[in-house]
Structure 1
Amino acid sequence: MSHDIAIVGAGMAGASLAAAIGSRARVILLEAEDMPGRHATGRSAAFWSETYGGPAVQPLTTASGATLRDGGYLTPLGSLHVGRAEDSAQIERLLGDFAGSGVDLSPVDPATRIPGLRPEWVRGIWEPSCAYIDVAALHADYLAAARGAGAVLRTDAALVAAERRDGLWHLETRAGPVEARILVDAAGAWADEVARIAGAAPVGITPYRRTMMQLRTDPPAPSGLPHVIDINGRFYFKPEAGGRLWLTPHDETPSIPCDIAPEEWDVAVAIDRLEKVVDWRVAAVERRWAGLRSFAPDRAPVYGFDAKVPGFFWCAGQGGFGIQTAPAASRMAAALLLGQGDMPGGVDAARYAAARFSR
């Protein structure tokens, strides 16, 4: 059976796009693993922040907010950007970057919101809209919506070869052959590899390791603690159930696409940075994991048809913000892909076009 669209990757990017396409086209999702969401989607730090990813990403995040809130995927959290006196320029830059964007940011004394904060951390910016996001429910609902609209999900179906003949992609996968008019690259860390298989020039999607851990602290993470992020991007932490804390050193170590694992050095660095911010004692590291965050060279996501290879569509480079932008990004991508449908308000699709990398 021939399909209209074959989407390589059934993580958040591929699943949300398939759901946004709905019944307007015959879609097949090709997932390399035995189940969708094993990599970036399943290892998300699970928060929604309008400033995360910077001004280039914020329109997609903001445009996704209503859908996520109305769907019950968000739980209020709040985010506190913290710095020392010598970080004042970075604090002012954050305020300037989002001036006029509609994102609510205000200077605060961070000591009023973080018990045990060490005295040198005197600068703070409060971002009240930041929220927990139920990643598992969102991903599952997108997959269910896609299936309900007729999409086919094929697992253990890594792409092996791709050839375009007479306006049709002839794909070889680990699960057998597939034919489709359009091939969508939503393969996350493997996006450039999929492009090479299809004969498209890679755009420079680079995977980076991000380390996360769950800690038990003494005293336990305080009730009402917000998401706390260093203005210089060297750590963030957020509370979890049972008084636990999720912490990252905000590392970005280039990696090959793989089933990434954490490094003990990064865990130690994160704990050292935390102990320089608060006077809590780390009683135990209960869990540690790592994920790959994949970026294009300019750090903005890539959506749109390839400039040189007909029928090849990019849906890649979502970095660490692919989940929080999924509602708006998938709607935008579906409109570009099908040549029909409304764009999300406040989003300029040209900013994310794959053609910006054509040579």
Structure 2
Amino acid sequence: MSAHQHYDIIVIGAGMAGASVAAELAGAGRVVLLERESHPGYHTTGRSAALYTQAYGPPVIRALSRASYTFFLGQGPGNPPAGLLRPRGALFVARADQAGKLDAMRSALDSVVEPQTAEQLRARSPLLRDGYASAGLFDNSAADIEVHGLHQHYLSHFRAEGGSLITRAEVKGLVRIGADWQVETQDQVLHAPIVINAAGAWADIIAEMAGVAPKGLRPLRRTALLVDPPTGIVPDAWPMVVDVEEQFYLKPDAGKLLISPADETLSEPCDAQPEELDIAICVDRIQTAFDLQIRRIDHKWAGLRSFLPDGDPMAGYATDAPGFFWLAGQGGYGIQSAPATARSAAALVQGNDLPADVLDLGVTVAALSPARLRVAA
């Protein structure tokens, strides 16, 4: 094991959350980013459906997503690269028996979405079965996110600002010694007064290791498949289609169709893999809603989306341990809200208020604070 090394901040987890906040903080001191796998983003970040939409998620997430929009356009702080968004559009479709859910969604998102008749839905997504959906909503601003480009931007910016990335660095021990946290990996012992817990599905495990009360994080498995469209059809210009109750989604993907049953199966933190039952449910739901015969699956995978009990993300210092900063619970929205979440978390780490644009959209320190959550039983 190498000699002890001292930093100002240790970030645990180099997925999108960890990489982005580390990049925002790199110029403020000596920052090290630890990743348990051989390369960053192996788990949830690398398995995202990669859609930006302001019509997705609870109010705090939608506000953070709106505050991230200029970054995705290649503008604003952080020198974002161009080309992070590609126009896609998103259709939220409802059967006749789902009319109440559609009305509720329209009321919550009236300024973001446009009502659609059944005929308009089929014109935008020709594979929808005639008679399946009675009405829907269209989010014209929805776009594909270049997830790899976004993640690599943050990692490159982090390194350029002097940050250190260490892979194959699973945390084996985490304890407060005096004014510092001591983080032990297989090969190194590191010290810093501040530890940022951005470990995704493993965040509660990291907290317990540190003697910090867990927050009831729930890793939920989601399955995705890649299949062929009908012969002769090129779906690339079509919008993503999402069931209004999120029972499935279908999204064009480089000449293929990415489909999911939008499952949310509670899981232990792990390298999630798809299960045959979820695959069968996915195929059944998609073939029920779309004129699509799925005879072969090109690729299948699963990822974990981690939610806190109230569904909102958490960014703030623990109330029961000095210098332990939570950055967790982004659920399925962590990519689209990452730029604003990272700026917000970096501000809070340094004892500052939230960025003005985030405050203007109604996000408060209290809404992000770990103190809002009861200790998990």
Normalised TM-score (structure 1)? 0.96
Q: 2:21 aligns with which of 13, 17, 20?
A: 17
Structure 1 contact 334–341 (Cα < 8 Å) conserved: no
What secondary structure does 1:193 align onto?
helix
Corresponding residue for residue 114 of structure 1: 125
Structure 1 contact 115–222 (Cα < 8 Å) conserved: no
Letter of the structure 1 residue corresponding to residue 150 of structure 2: L
* Distance in 1 separating the partners of 2:295 and 2:68: 38
Corresponding residue for residue 346 of structure 2: 334
Instruction: Tell whether 2:244 aligns with 1:231.
Output: yes
CA deviations 1:208-227 (Å, max 9, x no partner) are 11000101132445342101
Corresponding residue for residue 241 of structure 1: 254
Residue correspondence of structure 1 range 298-309 to structure 2 within 5 A: 298-309=310-321
CA deviations 1:13-44 (Å, max 9, x no partner) are 00000111131121111111111110001111
* Distance in 1 separating the partners of 2:343 and 2:91: 30
Q: Indicate the RMSD between aligned Cα atoms, in angstroms.
A: 1.4
Moved more, 106-115 or 200-209: 106-115
What secondary structure does 1:238 align onto?
strand
Corresponding residue for residue 57 of structure 1: 61
- Displacement of 1:248 in angstroms is 0.4
Equivalenced residues, count: 355
Q: 1:92 aligns with which of 86, 97, 103?
A: 103
What secondary structure does 1:292 align onto?
strand
Letter of the structure 2 residue corresponding to residue 141 of structure 1: H
Structure 2 contact 241–250 (Cα < 8 Å) conserved: yes
Structure 1 contact 55–97 (Cα < 8 Å) conserved: no
* Distance in 1 separating the partners of 2:191 and 2:52: 37
Residue correspondence of structure 1 range 203-222 to structure 2 within 5 A: 203-219=215-231, 220=233, 222=235
Structure 2 contact 354–364 (Cα < 8 Å) conserved: no
Identity of aligned residues (%): 41
Corresponding residue for residue 40 of structure 1: 44
List gaps (5 residues or longer) in structure 1: none
* Distance in 2 separating the partners of 1:191 and 1:296: 11
Structure 1 contact 111–122 (Cα < 8 Å) conserved: no
Residue correspondence of structure 1 range 178-327 to structure 2 within 5 A: 178-219=190-231, 220=233, 222-242=235-255, 244-327=256-339
Corresponding residue for residue 105 of structure 1: 113
* Distance in 1 separating the partners of 2:234 and 2:187: 46
Structure 1 contact 217–284 (Cα < 8 Å) conserved: no
* Distance in 1 separating the partners of 2:295 and 2:229: 5
* Distance in 1 separating the partners of 2:238 and 2:283: 18
Indicate how the Cα distance of structure 1 residues 221 and 83 shifts in structure 2: closer, same or farther if over 3 A, else same. Answer: farther
List gaps (5 residues or longer) in structure 2: 75-80
What secondary structure does 2:72 align onto?
helix
